[in-house]
Structure 1
Amino acid sequence: MAKSLRSKFKRRVRAIARTKKEPKTAALLQKAIDKRDEYEKQDAEKTKTDGTANEEKMEVTSQATINTKTLKKKDGSFPAWLSGTQKKKAAKKSKAIKKAKNKSGKNFL
Structure 2
Amino acid sequence: MSELDPEDAKIITLARSTRARAGSAEGAAVRDETGRTYAAATVELPSLRLTALQVAVAMAVSSGAESLEAAAVVTEDDAPDVAAVRDLAAKAPVLVAGLDGTVRTVLTD
Could you say whether these structures have the same fold, taking a TM-score greater than 0.5 normalized by the shorter chain as the test? no
Greater RCO structure (CA 8 Å; 6+ sep):
2
Q: Shorter-chain TM-score category?
A: under 0.3
Q: Counting helix residues as a fraction of each chain, which structure ranks higher?
A: 1
Q: Counting strand residues as a fraction of each chain, which structure ranks higher?
A: 2
